[in-house]
Every structure is written in C-alpha cells, then in structure tokens.
Structure 1
C-alpha cells in the first residue's frame, strides 16, 4: 500500500517532534514514522541515574516548556520521556510508532519511503534517526579474546547489574573497566564508583577535561550559539563547547572526582582473556568492560540515495543535504545544526528545515 503526504519525518524522538511542530506551523501535511513502540526516543533506554545538564526550563522543545522535576533537580531520563510523550499528544503530532523505515529512494519528482508497514510517497523527507541505535566500539587488540562481559553505554542501566550472584568470596568485588573520556564515561564511572560494589578503573585516551563546575547546559548552549553567530558573520571559529572541555561536572561526577574515586588511567594497549594490559606490561583483571566510546549516525535507510561522504556523514548546508535538496537531516550533531542533538538546541534548525521545505514545495 502506498500513501501520500507532503513530508515524511523519519524518527519520533526529540528532533522528530521539533520538526513536526514547525511543519505544522508551516501548514504542511506530514507523518512521523518512528521505529520505537512508545514515545520518548532514546531517552527511554538511558541508564537509571542519568540527569540532564540543565534545569527543566532550559531543556525544552519549541512551544512547550518542560515542567520542573519534583525536588528542583535537573531532570532524569524518565522525566524527559514523560515530557516528550505529553508534547506529542499536546500538539496532536501524527506519529506512527512501531513503524521501521527500511529505505528512502528517489522516484521522479519525489522521495519514496519504504517501511515494514507499506510505502509513503512524499515531496520531502526529514531524517531524525540520531545515533543511539549505532553504538561504536573501537577495534582494540584482543577484544575478541576477553572472556568477561562487554557492554556499551546503550546497555548500561545501574550498578546493581554488576553485583555478584553470591559466587564471590566475602569482601571481594566485581572489577569493571569503563572506557571513554566523555560525559557518558565519566557519569557511568562515577555511578559505579559511588555505589561501591564494584572496583572501577576508568580509562581514557587523553587526560579527562572537566568543564568548570559552574558550567551547565544553559552555558553550553550559549557558547554554541555564539560560535554559530561568529561563523555566520565570517569571524574566527571560537571553538565552541569543545574549547571549554569534554565533561560537564554534574553533581555525581563532582562527588566522585572530589572523593578521589574518578582518576583516569591512560588507554590500555590490548585486552587479554582476563583483563587489560598496558604498554608498560602492567595488567588489571576485569570481570566486565563498559565501552562509553560514542556512536555513529544511523543513516542506513538513506543508503539508496548515495549521499554518504567521509566519516559516514552526508554533506549539508544547514540541515539540507547538498546532494538531494528534498532531504533534510536534523539532530545528528553540529554538522546538521549547532547543538541540534540537544533538547534546547534542536528547535532552531527544525524551524529552518520546515521553512526551507515550505519554500521548496511552494515553488
């Protein structure tokens, strides 16, 4: 069965909802196709202790402030899921959950989106599938030899998952290596270290760079905005958020760091059957390794368009694909709009994409 609409939005997380909000304001007919069976995007799969970098009012999508979380703390993942679910309902966005998009193809003057529930023919497509479904693990020597448990950020939930089933001698603890010098690595290492039921080794490729303790998501958004304005005006690149550091010192990270439980070791040279070995010959036994090593953009559905370039990215002007003006990409990172992978930052590029599509379809 083939259905028709002006715009197909692929992905129903925060970027897809922001796109839907602005498409509706442009008076366009559209559908949002989301593979997840329930609202909330990737937030419904985050680890239990995760907290946003900013208060709720500074973590909102266009048109609707996120309500404060009880207790006045920075919102947790569950609070964000509830907010996105309410946002979808409040604006009556036409999201079809449980619909997997397999491919987007050119067909005459439009684009055909093939799904596991039929085909959609549209005049434009906005892809907002993000990165969560494509976790990256580096090809470290010996990774296939390690006999312990290996998991990625996407699989981590809580320290209790590493508690022994009663088979450890009294006083012994599981040994866990956390790999990665970004926010997820620091937060998960802190989560495990503060819990105290595992012996944690935090490993990073370069010394960790903590942002000043008073920097939160509001300040990061301001820095990203200033960088965008400077580039638009032809001024020098300020470096943006990356110039400040890599890790936001959220309260658990600060607590673990200040208690001396968050000191990083340099990256090991290889894995062995029982742990990790460094270039100087030293070895640490490990029962598990948590790879907090990032993600790649989930763009397999766009492969038929032949647009992928270096590093797997698609070249864009703003959000518009240079090789296919009927396609926009939103929410994958700064290459699809400054701060577009954040709740507060996705609104502006979503608005720009909707306006660009409205002009295209009006010609």
Structure 2
C-alpha cells in the first residue's frame, strides 16, 4: 500500500479530533483525521435512545461554532449531537478519512509512521483522540461466565422496551447506571446495584458547573494549592429530568454490590439472591490506546505520562479527550476545546521548527 505524508495525523474523528482539526487549520498546519467510524458523530452515534446531555446546547459547543438549540429540548439528545458534529466537520471542511482503522504508531527517524488498514502515513506529530467508548470495562466478578441470562455493557443498551416485563440488574452508580436504571424503572423488575449509596448532585448543577469545578481543581493543583476534589467532591450523578422523575417517584432504590453471579442471577454475601433475565454492566470504559503500543509508552495501569496533552517520553505525540489527565473535563464537549487549542499551539511550534531544521 502507498505511503502518504502530512504534518499531523489526528487519530479519531469524534469531538476531540474535530476540535484539534479546527485549531490546526487556524494555525495553517497541514493535517489529516483518520476515523474508524463509518459516519460522522463519534461515540454519540452509539448511545442509548433516551440519552440527553447534562448541559444546554450553548454550553456544549466545540470551538468556533455554537451548538444550535434543539427545538423542545433544554438538554439536547445524543442524536442532536451527532447532527452538530457532522455539520461542524462539513462547515470547517476538516479532512476526515473514514472508515480507517489505525493499526499502530511507530517511530521512523524524524517522523512518526501511522500504519492503517488502508496504507501508512508519515507525520511530524500525532494526536491521539480515540476516546474510551470502544473499550468497555467489565469487572472480574466471580461466576460471570456461569450466568445463563443476557449480559450487556452500556454500549449495547438501547431502549427499555427490549426488557419490558423482565427481571433486570443494572450495575453501576455513575451517570450511565442512573440513567439506564431510570429508563428501566417503570416496565421491568429492576435491581440497581452500586458499590456505595448513589450521590446525586444538587438538581441545579449541570455540565457548566461540572466543567467549572474540574477547571478550578486543575488550576489549584498546578499552583500547588489544596486539592478541591473537583467534580468528585460534588457527587457522582447529574440529576437530569429522567433521573429526577424516577428518583422522586421512589423508583431508584439501590442494593449493595453482590459478591458473585450464578447461573440464574446475583448472590450477596448473606445469601440473598436476585434471579435475573439480564445484567447490564454500567461499569465504565478504559482509554483506547492499543494503537500506541509500538511506542512503548504505557506505564503502571496502562497510563501514558503527559504534561498537559504532550506525551513526556515522545513529545511528537499529544493525547486528547481521555479525562482529566489530558485536560479538565477533556472527555466532554464543553471541555474538548481548550486542550485541543493547547495541543495545536505546541504542535504548530514543533512542525515549524522541523521545517527549519
């Protein structure tokens, strides 16, 4: 297969990859976005049907383009986000190629070589913006392989009608667990299982306040001040309208985590049992970084050390959108722009120096 050249390769065409493209374009840097998805919209095109954002449209925007308000919705749906990202990509004529699967990133002298299923690219710098959605985490619960009912992760859940009249266990005390439990609370025999009692944020807190809290924490840490705790200090669950309704109706009662599964359902330490037709694991995700393996950068627990967005051991590599360690709230729409701007500024300096060398 042929090899192509550019100054920067962005791996991933979701919100972080598009924000990076916007800022690189403004700085006159040549780049390409390689996206594994068949269509625009990133992970938002694979969510459950009732998912809504935590923030109004105006506070869920990428740089340069406000998200338009969705008629009849204070908090936009995932479908509206997909439309917005598709429009954003077209509006700024971002050079996205899809579907392209990146197989590995390698050092190649003064370049980084990005191997894909459709050929290789050589670039002065690489931005990894693959997110986490493609790498769901399932805990090693004893008996999980013995359970004979249906098991699925958040990424495979779509609508409550698929479970109507069934006995369902939802595992997870974060936002996904709460929203899916609320979705299922009316037409299933629901057991919602959490590691600790759920901590609902105050009803007037949405994504704007969460972004501010994450930013304040990052600033405090950078300045050597006391850790404020950021978002974690406020609570775990944003009470979006569907969660308010189910909670206030008394339908969101929780049980502590069970100790094992058997063929029929869950079993607790005291011998209590809950037969179940399905278990939905709302247990989070891990960064999708396997394409970085050839660089040998991953430390304890698979973490890649960064300063801001720049990889410490490979300064030609930047990481965007993997959580607070790549920028405050960087895995959110409202938080994607600032780290992308910072990465583009550093990379523009890097490729400028390279062209003079």
TM over 0.5: yes
User: Corresponding residue for 1:121?
Assistant: 122
Q: What is the CA-CA distance between 1:26 and the residue it aligns to? A: 1.2
Note if 1:70 corresponds to 2:71. Answer: yes
Q: What is the CA-CA distance between 1:77 and the residue it aligns to? A: 0.3
Q: What is the CA-CA distance between 1:12 and the residue it aligns to? A: 0.1
User: Corresponding residue for 1:238?
Assistant: 228
Q: What is the CA-CA distance between 1:362 and the residue it aligns to? A: 1.9
User: Corresponding residue for 1:187?
Assistant: 179
| Partner Cα distance (2:333, 2:344) in 1 | 17
Residue of structure 2 aligned with 1:176, choices 149, 168, 177: 168
| Partner Cα distance (1:332, 1:280) in 2 | 39
- Secondary structure at the residue paired with 2:63? coil
Q: What is the CA-CA distance between 1:229 and the residue it aligns to? A: 2.0
- Secondary structure at the residue paired with 1:213? coil
Q: What is the CA-CA distance between 1:309 and the residue it aligns to? A: 1.2
Equivalence map 1:159-308=2 (5 Å):
159-163=160-164, 173-193=165-185, 196-308=186-298
| Partner Cα distance (2:325, 2:215) in 1 | 14
1:4-23: CA deviation from partner (whole Å, max 9, x where unpaired): 00000000000000000001
1:168-206: CA deviation from partner (whole Å, max 9, x where unpaired): xxxxx210000000000000000000xx22111000011
| Partner Cα distance (2:171, 2:33) in 1 | 35
User: Corresponding residue for 2:344?
Assistant: 354
Equivalence map 1:41-80=2 (5 Å):
41-80=42-81
| Partner Cα distance (2:228, 2:92) in 1 | 37
1:181-237: CA deviation from partner (whole Å, max 9, x where unpaired): 0000000000000xx221110000111111111100011111112112222222111
User: Corresponding residue for 2:20?
Assistant: 19
1:304-353: CA deviation from partner (whole Å, max 9, x where unpaired): 00001122110100000111000000001001111100001010000000
| Partner Cα distance (1:301, 1:72) in 2 | 38
| Partner Cα distance (2:203, 2:163) in 1 | 30
- Secondary structure at the residue paired with 1:113? strand
User: Corresponding residue for 1:89?
Assistant: 90
Q: What is the CA-CA distance between 1:361 and the residue it aligns to? A: 1.6
User: Corresponding residue for 2:112?
Assistant: 111
Note if 1:29 corresponds to 2:30. Answer: yes
Q: What is the CA-CA distance between 1:161 and the residue it aligns to? A: 1.3
What are the ranges of 5 or more consecutive residues in structure 2 without an aligned counterpart? none
User: Corresponding residue for 1:158?
Assistant: 159
Q: What is the CA-CA distance between 1:359 and the residue it aligns to? A: 1.1
Scaled by the length of structure 1, the TM-score of the pair is 0.96
Scaled by the length of structure 2, the TM-score of the pair is 0.98
| Partner Cα distance (1:197, 1:188) in 2 | 12
Alpha-carbon RMSD across the aligned residues, in angstroms, is 0.7
| Partner Cα distance (1:236, 1:197) in 2 | 46
| Partner Cα distance (1:134, 1:179) in 2 | 17
| Partner Cα distance (1:328, 1:211) in 2 | 33
| Partner Cα distance (1:258, 1:111) in 2 | 54
